[in-house]
Amino acid sequence: MVGNGKTLSVVIPVYYNAKSLPELFAELGVFEKELDSRSLELELIFVNDGSGDDSLKQLLRIKKARPSTKIVDLSRNFGAIAASKTGFQFVTGDAFTILAADLQDPVEQVLLMVDNWLKGEKFIVSVREGREDPGSTKFFARIYYAVVRLLVVPNYPVGGYDLMLMDKAMLPHMATSGKHTNPNMYAFWLGFTPVKLPYHRRARRHGKSRWTFRKKLNFFMDTISGFSAAPIRLISAFGFVVALLSFAYGLNIIAQTLFDGSEVQGFATIVTLISFFSGTILVMLGIIGEYLWRTFEMVNNKPESVINQTYL
């Protein structure tokens, strides 16, 4: 089946990727030839997310070599999610995808997704069956996806995915999703049945990952609070159980005092319980605060990103 002159849009967030961009552009050149053999055009949209290195200079070189390339330069670093959504504003293709600029996701994998899209599929994801990442990253990923499957989406891919290709029917929803919304989770939540393709994530060849533990933790909290009420419901269930146990314990104390005349003991127990539940209450307030903060972020009208300049 041929593409009948259709276009694939590739959005590439860029953050401190000056060293990898020339190699990525070379791979995209081969990729574009493969698309051409399928009667598909390629729309490249790079979003410079406030990089402090020579990323913008490299992007302008790419623009000079391939004039149809679109470059969006943000005023500062807003994060990969905001950068991707900014790129969605410039998508005009019949299908679109987000590709990392660090070369860890192979471009040839996108071609496999394209072939499935040409067969009529609207949502194709590449599920990681292996990853060349540090041990700490793998450990955090395992915990993250285990919690996601437990609290949010039971059938979410075990290894997770970053690479996905979507039909233009999904673009309006992806472009208008809420602030700090996990785009992969949101795309999965939309209900389009995904075609799952396995792949192995490559090792990072250039530079150092800027995906810090703090960013991972924030992303984790955004995912859980953005797609699941389970933490709030667990708080309610915990409070109910504690109330029942406290009531039963109180009845036991009253019974011992009335019928046995025994002196009430348990100073150490009381202090321990007070300390435990004080800490628990603070954790619960923090969880509730996460939900309130998301609500505030949605209504405060701050832009999710600010464009400094475009090169179209």
Q: Which residue numbers in the chain have pLDDT < 70?
A: 1-4, 130-138, 159, 202-216, 227, 261-268
pLDDT tens-digit series, residues 71-98? 999 999 998 888 999 999 999 999 999 9
Q: Are residue 295 and residue 161 in the same domain, yes or no?
A: no
CATH number for the domain including 46?
Answer: 3.90.550.10
* Closest C-alpha to 24, from 112, 134, 104, 132: 104
Domain that holds residue 159: 7-210+304-311
Task: Assess if residue 78 is contained within a domain.
Answer: yes
Report the domain count for the chain.
2
Q: Are residue 133 and residue 244 in the same domain, yes or no?
A: no
Q: Are residue 203 and residue 248 in the same domain, yes or no?
A: no
pTM, rounded to two decimals? 0.76
Task: Assess if residue 195 is contained within a domain.
Answer: yes
Cα 166 from Cα 124, distance rounded (Å): 7
Task: Assess if residue 222 is contained within a domain.
Answer: no
pLDDT tens-digit series, residues 14-43? 999 999 999 999 999 999 999 999 999 999
Q: Are residue 38 and residue 99 in the same domain, yes or no?
A: yes
Q: Are residue 102 and residue 22 in the same domain, yes or no?
A: yes
Which DSSP category does 48 fall into?
E
- pLDDT computed for residue 1 by the predictor: 40
Q: Are residue 194 and residue 284 in the same domain, yes or no?
A: no
Cα 308 from Cα 72, distance rounded (Å): 8
Q: Are residue 110 and residue 239 in the same domain, yes or no?
A: no
Q: Are residue 100 and residue 194 in the same domain, yes or no?
A: yes
Cα 126 from Cα 109, distance rounded (Å): 8
